[in-house]
Chain A
Amino acid sequence: MNSIVLIRLAFCLLCLNASVSFADVQVSDAKIVLPAKGSDVAAAYGTFKNTAANEEVVKIKTLGPFGAGEFHETMSAGGQTSMKALDGLRIPAHALVHLEPGGRHLMLFKSKRPLKAGEKIEMVFEADGKTVPVKFEVIKRANLGH
C-alpha cells in the first residue's frame, strides 16, 4: 500500500518536474534595473537559452507588478540611437540570446508599486506552448556592471 502511494507520488513529482524542466527555453542571470528617478520605465536583462532543435519565439505571459512590457532592440546607426519593439524574442535552435544594455532588452512600464533593490520579481514567459517562469533580481543601475 505504502509502496503504491510512494510510486504514485514519485510519478506525480516526475510529471511536475517535467512540466518545468522540459521547457526548451531557460533563462539565467535575470535582472531588472531600477527605473531612473522621474521615469517609470525599467529595463530587464538576462540570458535566454534555447535547448530545442528548432527556433523558439518567447512571448510575455505575466509581468508581475508591471502594467506592460515589450521586448525591444536598441539600434545604433549613423550616430543615432533608436529602439524597435520586437514581436517576441526569437532564439535560434541551440542558441543563446543575451538581453543586455545597448542591445535587446525587456522594457517594462508602469509598475503598480515601487520596486526595491534586492527583491525578486517573477515574470512568466511562453515558448512553444510551454511556460517559462523566471525570477528577476531587482538591482541598482550602478550594480549592473556595464
Chain B
Amino acid sequence: MNKSVRVIGALVLILVGVVAFLIWNFTRPNRMGGDFSASFQGQPWSFSQAPRRVNLVYFGFISCPDACPLTLSHAGDAFTKLKATELEKVRLIFFTVDPHDTAAKAAAFASGFYKDFLGVRGTEEQTLKATNLLGASFMIEQQPKSFLGYSVTHSDRLFFLNSSGEVIDSIGQPRSSEEILNKIRSYL
C-alpha cells in the first residue's frame, strides 16, 4: 500500500514537472541571439569564448564620424561609472559591418572609447550571421561622388545579450550614458 502511494506520488510529481516545463517552454519569450564569431586583433574570436553576464553589442563602422562615436562615447561614459565588481560582469563588443575596415583598426577604434571595449570584424558570412541572429541589419551602397566612394546604412541599436548570447534588451539611438548605465545595472 505504502509502496503504491509512493509510486503514484512520484508519477504525479514527474507529471507536474513535465507540464510545468511545457508551459514555461511554450510561454517564454522567443528571444533572438546565439553564438557568433569574427576576428579580434587578427585572432579568431567568438561570443561564447568568454561571455559575461551582460554583453553589449553595437554594429557600426570606423569611418562613421557621427552615430558610432556618439554611441560608443556614451557607452564609454557609462562603463567608467561602473564599479570594479560590476565591470567583471559586463563587456561591450563593437562589430564593424564595413568590409573596408581591418580587425586591427576595429580593435583600436573600440578601445579608444573605453580600454576594454572589443572591436571585431567578421567575414561577410560572419557579419551576416551576427546581424541576422541579433535582428540587426546593414547595407553598403556605392556612392561614386563621395570621397569614400560608398555609404553604410546600419542599425543604430545597442543590443544587450545574456551569457548565452540571447538578446534580452536593446536601446535604439543610444545617446544617453545614464540610460545605458541603468540598463546594464538592471541586468547585473
Is A76 in contact with B173, judged by CB distance below 8 angstroms?
Answer: yes
Which residues of the partner chain B approach A37 to less than 8 Å between Cβ atoms?
108-109, 111-112
Residues of A contacting B146 in the complex (Cβ-Cβ under 8 angstroms): 70, 85
Give bound CA distance, A33 to B69, whole Å. Answer: 10
Contact A38 to B65, CB < 8 A, known contacts A76-B173, A146-B175: no
Check A107 for interface membership: any CB of B closer than 8 A.
yes
Q: Given A36-B109, A70-B146, are A41 and B63 neighbors across the interface (CB < 8 Å)?
A: yes
Q: Given A72, A83, A85, A101, which contacts B70 in the complex, CB threshold below 8 Å?
A: A101
Residue of A nearest to B177 (CB): A146
Q: Mark A94-109, 1 if CB is under 8 A from B, else 0.
A: 0000000110010111
Please provide the chain A residues from 43 to 94 with a CB less than 8 Å away from any CB of chain B in the complex: 43, 68-70, 72, 74, 76, 79-85
A8 within 8 A of B: no
Partner pick for B155 among A35, A80, A107, A108, CB 8 A cutoff:
A80
CB of B66 within 8 A of chain A? yes
> Considering only CB atoms and an 8 Å cut-off, how many residues of chain A contact the other chain?
31
Query: Contact: A146 with B70, CB < 8 Å?
Result: yes
> Do the beta carbons of A82 and B152 come within 8 Å of each other?
yes
In the complex, residue of chain B having the shortest beta-carbon distance to the beta carbon of A144 = B73
A14 at the A/B interface (Cβ < 8 Å)?
no
Query: Which of chain B's residues has its CB closest to A104's CB?
Result: B66
A96 to B147 CA separation, bound complex (whole angstroms): 27
Instruction: Give bound CA distance, A101 to B64, whole Å.
Output: 12
A101 and B66 contacting across the interface, CB-CB below 8 Å: yes
**Which residues of chain A have C-beta atoms less than 8 A from B153's C-beta?**
80-82
Binding site for B on A (CB under 8 A): 33, 35-39, 41-43, 68-70, 72, 74, 76, 79-85, 101-102, 105, 107-109, 141-142, 146
10 closest A-B pairs by beta carbon, nearest first, are A37-B112, A38-B108, A38-B109, A43-B65, A82-B153, A81-B156, A38-B105, A85-B146, A68-B147, A81-B67
* B residues in contact (CB < 8 Å) with A: 62-67, 69-70, 72-73, 104-109, 111-113, 119, 137, 143, 145-148, 151-157, 172-173, 175
Could you show 23 A-B contacts with beta carbons less than 8 Å apart?
Answer: A33-B65, A36-B62, A38-B109, A38-B112, A38-B119, A43-B66, A69-B147, A74-B67, A79-B155, A79-B156, A80-B137, A80-B156, A81-B67, A81-B153, A81-B154, A85-B143, A85-B151, A102-B175, A107-B147, A108-B65, A109-B147, A141-B69, A142-B73
